[in-house]
């Protein structure tokens, strides 16, 4: 069966520090991968998605970046965090052809 | 770009009352999906509708996809405390596009 791992679960980082969040998927090949951000009590904002290794589509211009170094690995990064980067970050995967998405447990990031 | 709006943003209902959330997309969708996010959790897939005018039921939940494939609704009959959470619609804009955009969500609270 397929599983998705996302870590860490919670993170407190100072302003200006770097960020690296990792997401891996098991049990499937060539999935679509997504990074979403959810502000407290708000909706899901699509940040990045990828349909293959090295292929990244960016939806929101900001100080975040994403990479897909391996087929089932998706990384969200920042060189310098801002206070506004605080939120709940969710990684998700789906098979191709408009299928449902499966989410990781999420990372609650607080920038202080 | 594509926008998917949901109304209402919040809904408080007495236990046993019905609940409906409406989803409207600025562009035609290839399909519509519905997710539920429990407080503190991650979104979990509920159902997918593909055909214009399609109606599906899951126990007390009824899902509809509009004729123009730009709107959808979720209706819960006789709400229970287990229905608490935020309900999101989501969709792919057109065939061949892997970008999954979520609606703004409706947060449902139940008054016992």
The string of pLDDT tens digits covering residues A12-32 is 999 999 999 999 999 999 999
Question: Structural domain tally of chain B?
Answer: 1
pLDDT tens sequence across A46-92: 999 999 999 999 888 679 999 999 999 999 999 999 999 999 999 99
Q: Is B57 on the interface with A (CB under 8 A)?
A: no
Contact list in A for residue B95 (CB cut-off 8 A) is: 98
Could you give all domains of chain A from N- to C-terminal order, each with its CATH number?
A: 3-111 (2.60.40.10)
pLDDT number for residue B23? 97
Q: Which residue of A has its CA nearest to B101?
A: A46
Question: CB contact, 8 Å: A60 with chain B?
Answer: no
Q: Residues A32-44: pLDDT tens digits?
A: 999 999 988 788 9
What is the rounded distance in angstroms from the CA atom of residue B33 to the CA atom of residue B82?
A: 20
Residue B60: φ, ψ to 5°: -90, 0
Cα–Cα distances (Å) from B71 to B36, B49, B51, in that order, read: 18, 11, 12
pLDDT at A98: 75
* CA proximity to A73, closest of A111, A20, A37: A20
In this prediction, residue B41 carries a pLDDT of 94
Q: Report DSSP letters for A40-98, one per residue.
A: TT--EEEEEEEEETTEEEE-S-SSEEEEEEETTEEEEEESS--GGG-EEEEEEEE-TTT
Beta-carbon neighbour count of residue B41 at 10 Å? 13
DSSP class of A101: P
pLDDT at B72: 98
With beta carbons under 8 A apart, name residues in chain A contacting B25: none
pLDDT at A61: 65
Taking 70 as the pLDDT cut, the residues of chain B under it are 95-96
Pairing of strands A107-111, A10-13: parallel
CATH number of B30's domain: 2.60.40.10
Query: What pLDDT, on a 0 to 100 scale, did the predictor assign at position A2?
Result: 80
Question: What was the pLDDT predicted at B73?
Answer: 98
A10-13 vs A44-52, strand pairing mode: unpaired
Quote the pLDDT of residue B44: 97
Position B31 scores a pLDDT of 92
Instruction: Assess contact for A67 and A58: CB atoms under 8 A.
Output: no
The domain of B98 spans 4-111
- Residue corresponding to tokens 């310098």: A80
> d(Cα A12, Cα A55) in Å, to the nearest integer?
29
Q: State the sign of the Cα–Cα–Cα–Cα dihedral B28, B33, B36, B37.
A: negative
pLDDT of residue B96: 64
- Whether residues A98 and B107 touch (CB distance < 8 A) is answered with no
B4: Cα separation from own chain's centroid = 11
Determine whether the interchain pair A98/B95 forms a contact, defined as Cβ–Cβ distance below 8 Å.
Answer: yes
Residue from the list B45, B88, B99 with its beta carbon closest to the beta carbon of A46: B99
């Amino acid at each position: 069966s397929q599983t998705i791992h996302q870590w860490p679960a919670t993170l407190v980082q100072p302003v200006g520090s770097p960020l690296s969040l990792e997401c891996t998927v098991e049990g499937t090949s060539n999935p679509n991968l997504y990074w979403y951000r959810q502000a407290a009590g708000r909706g899901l904002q699509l940040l990045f998605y990828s349909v293959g290794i090295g292929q990244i589509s960016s939806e929101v211009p900001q100080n975040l970046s994403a990479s897909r170094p391996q087929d089932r690995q998706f990384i969200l990064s920042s060189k310098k965090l801002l206070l506004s980067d605080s939120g709940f970050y969710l990684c998700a995967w789906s098979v191709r052809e408009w299928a449902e998405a499966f989410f990781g447990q999420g990372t609650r990031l607080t920038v202080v | 770009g594509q926008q998917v709006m949901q109304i209402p943003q919040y809904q408080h209902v007495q236990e046993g009352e019905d609940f409906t959330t409406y989803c409207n997309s600025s562009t035609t969708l290839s399909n519509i999906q519905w997710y539920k996010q429990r407080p503190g959790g991650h979104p979990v897939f509920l159902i997918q509708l593909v055909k214009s005018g399609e109606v599906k039921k899951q126990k007390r939940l009824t899902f509809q996809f509009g004729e123009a494939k730009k709107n959808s609704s979720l209706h819960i009959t006789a709400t229970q405390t287990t229905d608490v959470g935020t309900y999101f619609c989501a969709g792919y804009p057109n065939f061949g596009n892997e970008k999954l955009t979520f609606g703004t969500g409706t947060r449902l609270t139940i008054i016992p």
